[in-house]
Structure 1
Amino acid sequence: MRRKPLRLSIKTNLIVFFTAFNTGLLLLLYLVGANWYNENQRGQMDAFLHTETSGIVSAISTFMGHEYIGASGLADPFQDPDFSRYLAAFLSQRLNSPAMYNTTLMIADANDRLISVSNRALNLDPRSLTDNRARIHDRKRLENGAELFSVEYDRLDYRVLQTSLKLEGRVIASVRLACLLDPLIKSSVEFMLLTCLFILFSLIINTASGIFLVTRILSPIRDMNTVMNSITEKNLNSRLELLPGNDEVSTLAGTFNHTLDRIEKAYRSQEQLVSDLSHQLRTPLTSMRGAVELGMQKARSVEDYQAILEDNLVGIDRITGLVNTMLTLAKLDGHIESLRYESCDLVKLLEETIGELAPLWEEKAIGFKYRYRFYRNHRIEEFEAENTIAPVVPSFVTDLFIIEVDTLRFKQAIINLLDNAYKHTPREGLISIELYREVTGEARFFRFVIANSGIPIPAADLPQLFTPFYQGVRPLDGTEEGARGFGLGLSICRRIIEMHKGKIRAFNPVSGGAAFEIILPVKQTDAATELA
């Protein structure tokens, strides 16, 4: 069985990353600092050796000037008693003068015979410079033939500067000035120890600070998790506390609250839907059961049984219609079906739909009035027609009302609105169809109004008209209660219009009756067709 990889929590990952990043950064700074410190110390020692050696060579060269040469009658100045006394006094003075480093001075003649050595406290054996056991490294050439190098001899390290002593262009001696490297090494070790202690202390402080900061940052998320886990169907109204500010955590809390609002709304809608559906099914099922039980109480004629079966068939058809309508509404609410946009001639679509429902209008002798308003030639124009189901509309008018919609779905919404208008329009009444193409600043939209001459909608019913199963004013078509609709047509209309990014509302015109208005935005492809 394959083991799942270990996944650390966000808090642990952040702390580990924070600590590792700081550790790496401090180690990098430590390496850079240690290297800089060592180079700086070595540079100071080399500069000291160079300065001291230059002074020594200058002093000896001055003494060995022309005014002293031959004064004692000796060809070799190193055999001159005056030079020997001068050199002894110079070395004594040098030993007693303060210096940055303890040094050993060695002077050898041209044949590399040692003439003088000062400050043997460094334990530098002159043979260390020529002995095969000595390890000479880190050589560095300087100007005037001088040379810097390090010597490791008898487990001690020295830094040596060697230069030549010339007289009249002839090398007569060599001067070597050496410093013991132990103080430099000890200083570097002390620096590294102090730096390590500082890094360790910094890591402890940074880790503790990281744990504190990460815990504080993630504390609202932990509280959010607690609240989210406590939410059930019994307390869907619980919400997360919104923190002050506009950071990511506050945005996340607001998103969670918005999601909870939608979940609660969907859950309540589902509860209401199930309740309404059970109520709607209970009436026809009870009626059908009662008719069957009544028919079984005693023997009846064939005609009676046929009447019972016909009534039950009507009830079954009603239940089937209810279920199909519910499925349509569920698909629209659940976004199961996507819209298939296409160019649609709205005037022609209205003409076809109204023509298909002609038997309804003829049954109640309902008349139609059309009013299309648009902007043309820099002025508002209108087309009007009445007392006809299919008016002759000029082509330039129909061209102005080409929209991008899902034709089948939009036609379904129009049918529902026309059916609603039919039910609430009195005999020999009037249905008005109004189309407007309007431009307000940068906004372009269509307004589509279907009004009827029936009784106005009660003010109390207006906010509830688009609620599923809501049935307000009783229709004026004379239908019985059992033959009425389910109260889902307007809900389906609203969902279809909202899917088209539009709006729908019901209102009572000043002239009387009731009306429904649809507002649809003009899509980008339509906006290219500007009115002249």
Structure 2
Amino acid sequence: MQIKTRITILFTAITVTILLVFALVIYTSAKESRENEFYNLLTKEAYTKANIFLNAHVDKKTLQEIYHNNRNILNEVEVAIYDTDFNLVYHDAVDIDIVKETPEMLQNIQSKKEINFYQGQWQVVGIVYHYKNKEYLITSAAYDLYGYNKLNDLLRTIIIVFFTSLFIIYIAGTVFSSKILMPIKKMMEKVTTISATNLDLRLVSYNTKDELSQLANTFNEMLDRLENSFDSQKHFVSNISHELRTPLSAMIAELELSTNKERDIQEYKTVIHNVMADAKKLVRLSNSLLDLAKANYDRSEIGFKPIRIDEVLLDARKQTLQANSDYKIDIHFENDFEDDHQISVNGNEYLLNVAFINIFENGCKFSNDKQSIVSILFDAEKIILKFSDKGIGIAENDLENIFTPFYRGENKTFADGNGIGLSLTQKIINLHEGNISVQSSLNQGTTFIIELPHL
């Protein structure tokens, strides 16, 4: 069932239920009001006829003729008067006698002073009337034709209004639900036109601050993220293709040249040496890509545990020096620590190791003295690592792009690289809820500052 239909049915059901309750209250109130008013009328008629008969001493026969004459054109009230011994004193129409008083009924009137009840569809009032220190028991009965006709007219009107309202409410609910869901329908039509080739399209947001506007804004934000992700992937694939093509082309060219003619052993060794260098570049690139993929994982999918930063730094220093024997790396503590918590973070040892190796290698390979120095500081909230070198520095116009994947600055002619290392390092630090920044001046050196929260 469509939401539009459900809303229409729910709206109609709720409104009709309220209308039905309202109609029942009105009808019940009208019914009770008619009954009470007619009982009051019967009581007045009983007192009036008792006064006429007992006080005014109007002839019994005259009163009975009046009753019979009026009864032909009106629903005349039938009155009967009894004494306390239950003897009939007066009756409008003994031949008709709607009430058919019994000693038990008269005794009940005498004891309760006033009673109301139904005799068939006729309403009956029984009262005690005092006259000259004597008590009389009076019954007054009649059929409220006028009141019942009004009540039936009211019931017919309620039924007609109810079903008419039911139809109108259903139509109004259909129009109402269509109007309410129109923005969603337009969103659906717009969404069906969005694909990977036109992620720049956006849903219309009317800035009404309602849920539909918030939904459109949320969806547009998701499209922004998807568009950025697709653009990043396209850029990533383009750069990867370029980075892979260069060493592969060089390897193929070297091998083709070596097979064109017979060469001596030294020339073959040179070719093998060049091919191995290109192969190592491919290995480094593939390793960097694998690490970059790991750094892009959701934090909840990576194993974190308490680790000491100094131990990770020493391990990263060891691996860097094993791969590059001419590098020099020094680690200094700027202040003393009293317990392990001051020098520990909640992190992934492998990823932090990769990040520190990247910074060590960058500091050493872009320095004439091949040296990188890291200083360790800490305060009550975070650990601060400063990786410094006295290398060629970074141009000012390159500083804002150094963390962009595959970006190579003006210093790319000084040393080989693929532009992944610093981007990977930033992702790893962000994954650990830390922050990385850089300070650099040309020909004076560079300092990378990493801040990581304590345990």
Question: Would the alpha carbon gap of residues 241 and 503 (structure 1) be closer, same or farther in structure 2, given more than 3 Å must change?
Answer: farther
State the distance in 1 between where 2:21 and 2:217 align.
42
**Which digits, 9 at most, give the CA deviation of each residue in 1:51-102, with x for residues without a partner?**
3324444565556xxxxxxxxxxxxxxxxxxx45377379859999xxx974
State the distance in 1 between where 2:439 and 2:343 align.
24
Cα shift at 1:18 = 0.5
Give the number of equivalent residue pairs: 445
Question: Would the alpha carbon gap of residues 297 and 225 (structure 1) be closer, same or farther in structure 2, given more than 3 Å must change?
Answer: same
SS in structure 2 at match of 1:245: coil
SS in structure 2 at match of 1:126: coil
TM score, norm. by length of structure 2: 0.84
SS in structure 2 at match of 1:149: strand
Aligned to 2:406: 469
Does residue 435 of structure 1 match 2:372? no
Cα shift at 1:395 = 4.7
**Which digits, 9 at most, give the CA deviation of each residue in 1:408-462, with x for residues without a partner?**
22222111111111111222x65342334356xxxx3333221211122112211
Question: Would the alpha carbon gap of residues 113 and 142 (structure 1) be closer, same or farther in structure 2, given more than 3 Å must change?
Answer: closer
**Residue among 350, 368, 372 paired with 1:426:** 368
| 8 Å CA contact 2:202, 2:223 repeated in 1 | yes
| 8 Å CA contact 2:67, 2:76 repeated in 1 | no
Matches within 5 A, 1:260-279: 260-279=223-242
| 8 Å CA contact 1:158, 1:178 repeated in 2 | yes
Matches within 5 A, 1:288-303: 288-300=251-263
Question: Would the alpha carbon gap of residues 142 and 453 (structure 1) be closer, same or farther in structure 2, given more than 3 Å must change?
Answer: farther
State the distance in 2 between where 1:167 and 1:151 align.
27
| 8 Å CA contact 2:75, 2:145 repeated in 1 | no
SS in structure 2 at match of 1:508: strand
**Which digits, 9 at most, give the CA deviation of each residue in 1:214-271, with x for residues without a partner?**
2232222222222221112222111222222322112111111110011001111111
| 8 Å CA contact 1:347, 1:398 repeated in 2 | no
State the distance in 2 between where 1:456 and 1:323 align.
27
**Residue among 386, 396, 401 paired with 2:338:** 396
Does residue 247 of structure 1 match 2:240? no
SS in structure 1 at match of 2:146: helix
Question: Would the alpha carbon gap of residues 447 and 336 (structure 1) be closer, same or farther in structure 2, given more than 3 Å must change?
Answer: closer
**Residue among 22, 43, 50 paired with 1:29:** 22
Cα shift at 1:191 = 0.9
State the distance in 2 between where 1:351 and 1:108 align.
121
State the distance in 1 between where 2:65 and 2:114 align.
21
| 8 Å CA contact 2:406, 2:418 repeated in 1 | yes
SS in structure 1 at match of 2:208: coil
Aligned to 1:70: none
| 8 Å CA contact 1:331, 1:337 repeated in 2 | no
What percentage of aligned pairs have identical amino acids? Answer: 23
**Residue among 455, 461, 471 paired with 2:392:** 455
Does residue 515 of structure 1 match 2:447? yes
Aligned to 2:104: none
Q: Tell me, which stretches of 5 or more residues in structure 2 are unaligned? A: 102-107
State the distance in 1 between where 2:92 and 2:67 align.
14
| 8 Å CA contact 2:16, 2:166 repeated in 1 | yes
**Residue among 20, 31, 34 paired with 1:41:** 34
**Residue among 362, 370, 384 paired with 2:332:** 370
| 8 Å CA contact 1:505, 1:516 repeated in 2 | yes
CA RMSD of aligned residues (A): 3.7
State the distance in 1 between where 2:254 and 2:241 align.
20
Letter in 1 for 2:92: V
Question: Would the alpha carbon gap of residues 143 and 330 (structure 1) be closer, same or farther in structure 2, given more than 3 Å must change?
Answer: farther
Cα shift at 1:14 = 0.8
**Which digits, 9 at most, give the CA deviation of each residue in 1:380-415, with x for residues without a partner?**
xxx4xxxxxxxxxx4538663332222222222111
State the distance in 1 between where 2:111 and 2:46 align.
13
SS in structure 2 at match of 1:421: helix
State the distance in 2 between where 1:319 and 1:17 align.
65
| 8 Å CA contact 1:346, 1:401 repeated in 2 | yes
State the distance in 2 between where 1:516 and 1:468 align.
17
Letter in 1 for 2:395: P
| 8 Å CA contact 2:30, 2:151 repeated in 1 | yes
Aligned to 1:185: 148
Aligned to 2:425: 493
Question: Would the alpha carbon gap of residues 141 and 285 (structure 1) be closer, same or farther in structure 2, given more than 3 Å must change?
Answer: farther
Aligned to 2:123: 159
Cα shift at 1:184 = 2.2
Cα shift at 1:37 = 1.4
SS in structure 2 at match of 1:129: coil
Aligned to 2:79: 105
Aligned to 1:234: 197
| 8 Å CA contact 2:307, 2:349 repeated in 1 | yes
| 8 Å CA contact 1:423, 1:475 repeated in 2 | no
State the distance in 1 between where 2:315 and 2:290 align.
26
**Which digits, 9 at most, give the CA deviation of each residue in 1:261-283, with x for residues without a partner?**
11001111111111111111111
Between stretches 256-265 and 397-406, larger displacement belongs to: 397-406
State the distance in 2 between where 1:94 and 1:148 align.
24
Matches within 5 A, 1:201-216: 201-216=164-179
Between stretches 12-21 and 183-192, larger displacement belongs to: 183-192
SS in structure 1 at match of 2:396: coil
Letter in 2 for 1:31: L
Question: Would the alpha carbon gap of residues 224 and 467 (structure 1) be closer, same or farther in structure 2, given more than 3 Å must change?
Answer: same
**Residue among 281, 295, 300 paired with 1:332:** 295
Question: Would the alpha carbon gap of residues 218 and 434 (structure 1) be closer, same or farther in structure 2, given more than 3 Å must change?
Answer: farther
Aligned to 2:105: none
SS in structure 1 at match of 2:92: strand
State the distance in 2 between where 1:202 and 1:433 align.
82
State the distance in 2 between where 1:89 and 1:185 align.
27
Aligned to 1:200: 163
| 8 Å CA contact 2:393, 2:443 repeated in 1 | no
**Which digits, 9 at most, give the CA deviation of each residue in 1:176-198, with x for residues without a partner?**
32221322221111111222233
State the distance in 2 between where 1:397 and 1:164 align.
103
**Residue among 148, 164, 169 paired with 2:116:** 148
SS in structure 2 at match of 1:357: helix
Question: Would the alpha carbon gap of residues 29 and 104 (structure 1) be closer, same or farther in structure 2, given more than 3 Å must change?
Answer: same
Cα shift at 1:20 = 1.1
Q: Tell me, which stretches of 5 or more residues in structure 1 are unaligned? A: 1-7, 64-82, 119-123, 132-139, 373-382, 384-393, 527-532
Letter in 1 for 2:188: N
State the distance in 2 between where 1:305 and 1:485 align.
26
Question: Would the alpha carbon gap of residues 112 and 182 (structure 1) be closer, same or farther in structure 2, given more than 3 Å must change?
Answer: farther
| 8 Å CA contact 1:368, 1:433 repeated in 2 | yes
State the distance in 1 between where 2:124 and 2:69 align.
18
Question: Would the alpha carbon gap of residues 91 and 404 (structure 1) be closer, same or farther in structure 2, given more than 3 Å must change?
Answer: farther
| 8 Å CA contact 1:464, 1:470 repeated in 2 | yes
SS in structure 2 at match of 1:150: strand
